[in-house]
Structure formats: structure tokens, C-alpha cells
Amino acid sequence: MKNPLLSEFETPFEVPPFDQIEESHFMPAFEKGMEQQNKAIKAIINSKEEPDFENTIAAMTRSGELLDRVSSIFYGLESANTNDSLQSIAKKISPKLSKHRDEISLNPELFKKVKHVYDKRKELELTSEQAYILENVYKRFIRSGANLPEKKQQKVKEINQRLSALTLEFGQNVLAETNNYEMVLEDEEKLSGLPESVIQTAKETAEKRGYEGKWVFTTQKTSMIPFLQYSKKRNLRKKLFMAYTHRGNNDNEHDNKDILKEIVNLRARRANLLGYNSHADYRLETRMAKKPGNVNDLLERVWDAALPVAKEEREEMQQMIEEEGKDFDLQSWDWWYYAEKIRKQKYDLDDSDLRPYFQLENVREGAFMTANKLYGITFNRIDNIPTPHPDAQAFKVNDHDGSHLGVLYMDFHPRSSKRGGAWCGDYRGHKRDDAGNEVQPVTTIVCNFTRPTADKPSLLSLDEVETLFHEFGHALDGLFAENTYPETFVARDFVELPSQIMEHWATKPRMLKKYAQHYKTGEEIPESLIDKIEKSTYFNQGFANVEFIAASMLDMAYHTFSEPKGNLNVMEFEKKFLNEAGLIPEIEPRYHSTYFRHITGGYDAGYYSYLWSAVLDNDAFEAFEKNGLFDEKTAAKFRKNILEKNGIADPKKLYKRFRGREPRVEPLLRNRGLLN
């Protein structure tokens, strides 16, 4: 039987033929991809020509094109539409891929050729992109252990293979814990305080799960957060919240405590083998931050500004509890409930007042409209095209001159086969082929937004609106890419700039009037609601910043170990660290250790990146505010210097080219109401 992964894609825009791909196709395709790459690497090594950029570095970047294609499709599906078979394949292939990568990056003959090119780089008349790629390819060999003695290299290989298996298992456990929990309510009285839309969603969830006449709430945020905001049943708020915060910490077959312990210790051990003081030192070397001290300085500055604000918010909530005649101290499972009540009291703003104006389809069109006004690009729905899931939508993206930019998939709603959160990925990245022809990207946005009910479309919360704009910013970054070679080197703490800057447009009055229309009447959002949104900009910012920074500091704490800690108890370590940092007990870190997927899935010693990028995006957006929200020159400058060049030039230089100077932290503090 023909394996579609190994053939040219005869589909519109050569997107993956999702409707033809079966689970059984992946392992043979992975094996073939590794085999092809090994042959290509062997040809580079055996070449009698003097090593240069084209026959060595460029050839290396193109050596794994089949493997990259198979990997992009597999991991895209495994995260957004997984099943037992895909999870089993992931467990089998993960250590094999790790071994395969190590055999390339630790190949002494290949490194010799790369070093030859690197040593002669000044004589080669390289383009700026080529020079940047060469620099980073060479560094990657060094950072992988190419200069280590063979025994130490072998230890690094063993650690890498073990880490690939452990991080995969950690994520699968979080998904299983999320899917396995359900709070089933049988008594209608227990729904007290919940809006009708929340009740209806819970009823439909129950029906899908076989609970006729009941209501089901889960630890998916689209189910949990509305319950925490509105439920008058404090005991049930606690029950659901505790289930969420204890994922991976239930001493069952999906427990993540020992897995995280081993991950953290293996990373510390590998850093030591590679000559670094800690895993954080190793990871930050290629990022804008460079050193743990620079990260901690930023985190502490915002922490010191945000913590007093959070304490004021706590006191305000405690006062409300007492004014209601209640006799209990505010707890973490009460925060959302009383925050919502205070927002209603202070700003006469209720989440349920906003949702009718944020129909998913309208918000999506608002994001498209923003990109059109900034860059002149257009989005047209495609129906006769394979999609990664029946829920997914496909759009053809054209540039301002009508030329094809790429294909964008959008997959919005939660399901048991999809991991939580929201993300943007590529089924195919931008590049130029051997003949210099442009290969256009196929990008995907995956979210977990509130599903439509029997009588209502999907109505988003304000947070979900900003999430859609955020992921859309990542998509623009991929669609506008101008890289020549299949490989780019994006700094983790720069990657969130294109996404986070897009959030600024989401709530600007000028944009709200364009896309925020009542789902029943079609009326645009009234000035009174826009005014309330603007006035409540600083609302709950103490909480939002403190919960985020607590998680960021926890991430850094795990990854600044100078050596493995054999006696590490992750929950005791977490508790002690957060207490010493001064986190108030009424606020939990955004992620507890046992379900903190960011730090096992690419943001290790990197969760701070959202804050680092926030400094950039707030500073960058000030240029738009000064020159005009849709100023063509500013937008063109941002596209040229940030979106097109991300991953093929030094991020610090890119930002200075756009802004004309280094970023300042004051716009961030000012926009979050934290500047004294």
C-alpha cells in the first residue's frame, strides 16, 4: 500500500493529505526519513570538495527534509488529535529520533567539516543569513558536546534519549489526568450562580459522556474558569480547583513527581558534562537574556511592583467577604469568584455581558481585518482541502500584491484528543528549494475555546479573544518568514514578540467597533462597554502578574541547580521555594510542578520568555501608538525587521533596527498599572 508521507502531496497548495494518512504510515516514514538524512550526511562527509557553506552547511540544513516533514505532521496531529496508537508511536520514535540527532551532532568527521567552514567564514563572502546560520550551526555542535571526549559524549547521548522519553511521558500524563477528571452534578441547586450558557455547556458535556439529565464540569479551562467565576457553591469551587491543581500529583499511574525529578536532575547532569554551571546557563546562552541573573533581575523587578498590588486585591476581596457576612478567609479557589464580583461592582463589567459580542467567527474576522489593515494581506476560506481534523478550518492567505503567502489552519475547540492550552505550529515551514523556488508555509492555530451549544454559537471571553489574537500573531510570524534554508534559529525569549504585540489591537476601541457585534442583533459593541473594558485595564493585574512570575521563578529555580539533587522532592521544593519568594497563599502559581508542561516541552528555563517578550511588545506597540494604529510605514518596518527576519538574524539587532534603540521596561509597567 502506498505511503502518502513518502510521496509528493497532490493536494491543493501541497498541504499534507490528512485524509489519506493512517497511523501505520508514520513509523516507516520516520525510518525512511532518518535513512535519507544519514545518506545525505554521509555524502557531505565523503565529499572530496573543500568544505564551504553550500556543500556543507546548506547541505546539512536540507539533509533532513523528509524527516522534518514527517515530524511536523506527526507531532502536529499527536498534540491536536491524538489517540492510543499515536501516543504509542511517539513513545517508540522519541528515543530513536534523539539518538539519530545525537549521531549527527556528535559525528567527529562532520564537525571537522563544519569547523573548517567556520574557521574560514571571513573569506567566504556570506550573506547575513548565511553567516547567522553558520554561527549557530557551529555553536550547536559545540553545545551538543562535539569537543567532549568519547566517554562523555556517550553519557550525553544516553541522557538525551532518556529525556526525550520522560518529557513525552510527562505530557501524556497531564493529558490523561485532564481527560480522566469530571465533576458530575445531579442536583440543579448546585448550579446556583452559573450563567445559563455555562449550564447548557455542562449539560451537553454530560450528554456526550453518557450522563443524561446531569451536568459535567472538567479541568479544561473553558469549563473550569466560568465555574470558578460564578458558582455560589464554595465547596464545589474548591473541589474543581483542587482537581486542576493536583493533576500529575495523585500518586497514580499518571503521577509526574518522580518524572520531573529525573528530568531536572538529568538536565543538571548534562549541563555539567557540557561545561555549564546549570541547565539555565546552557539554555540562556543562545537567547537574548544570556544569563540567569538577567532573567531574575527582570522577574524580581516586576514581582516587586506586582506583589503589593496583589496584596491590595486580596484585602479588597476579604473585605467583600466580611461585608457579605461570611466567616472565612479568602482562599485560592475563591479568587476568580470574588474578582468577578469586584469587577462587576467597580466597573459594572461582567464577563457574561461581553461574551455576546465576541462570537468566535467575528473575532476571527477581527484578527484577519487587523492584519489586512496593517499589511494588506487577505484570508479566503478553502473548503475543498484536507484538514487535520473535521473541526479545523482552512484559509488561503494572499499578500498585498495578490501573491500566495501560505495556508492557515484554525482548530478552535477542546476535545479529549487535544492537549490543553493554545498554540501555533507549522505543518510546513517557509524555505526555498534547491532551485531557489519559494516553498510557502502551512501554519496551524490550535485552541481550546468554548464550544457552541445547541442554541448559541461559540461566544468567547475577553481572555479567549486575546488568546486568538496572540496565536494569530505567531501565525503571521510564520507566514511572513523570508528564510532561504529549512533551518532557522529563533531565540525563545524573542519568539513571543510577534504574538503578544497582536493582543494590543484586540481591545482597541477602533477595532472593537469593527468586529465586536452582538451575535443575535448584529449591533456593534456599545461605547459604554468599550469604556468599561478600558477602565478595567488594570483590574486584577496584581494576580495576573504574580501567578505568572511565580511559575517563571519556579522554572528558573529547578534549572539553576549546579548539580543533580538525588533527594529532590518536587512538591516540597516547590512549596519551600514559593514560600521564601513571598507568594501569598491566596494565589497559586499559574502552573504547579506536576502539570507545568511548558518546562518539559521547550520552555525549560524559558517560561520567563513571555515577560521578556512583553517588555519588547509593549515598547514596540508604543511606536504604533505614536505613529498611528495602522501606520503603513511602522507596519512595514515591523514586518521587514521582525516578522520576515525572525530566526535568521540576531534578535537584539533586529529590534534595534525596528525601534531605533534598545527596548525599555517602563511601557510594560505602565500598561499593567505597576509603575509607581
- The catalytic residues are 471
With H, G, I as helix, E, B as strand and everything else as coil, classify residue 676.
coil
Place of cell 543533580: 564
Q: How far apart are the C-alpha atoms of 636 and 374, rounded to whole Å?
A: 8
Q: Per the structure block, which three cell numbers stand in for 464?
A: 479567549
- Evaluate whether 408 touches 446 at the Cβ level (below 8 Å): no
Q: Per the structure block, which three cell numbers stand in for 24?
A: 501505520
Q: How far apart are the C-alpha atoms of 309 and 409, rounded to whole Å?
A: 40
- Evaluate whether 576 touches 267 at the Cβ level (below 8 Å): no
Q: How far apart are the C-alpha atoms of 476 and 61, rounded to whole Å?
A: 23
Beta strands of 509-549 (E only): which ranges? none
Beta partners for residue 358, in sequence order: 517
Beta partners for residue 426, in sequence order: 443
- Evaluate whether 143 touches 279 at the Cβ level (below 8 Å): no
| b/e 247-257 (16+ beta carbons within 10 angstroms → b) | bbbbeeebbbb
Place of cell 484586540: 506
With H, G, I as helix, E, B as strand and everything else as coil, classify residue 617.
helix
**AA letter at 70:** V
CA dihedral 498, 503, 504, 507 (to 10 degrees): 160
Q: How far apart are the C-alpha atoms of 68 and 563, rounded to whole Å?
A: 34
Burial of 188 (0-12, 13-18, 19+ CB in 10 A): exposed
DSSP character at residue 122: G
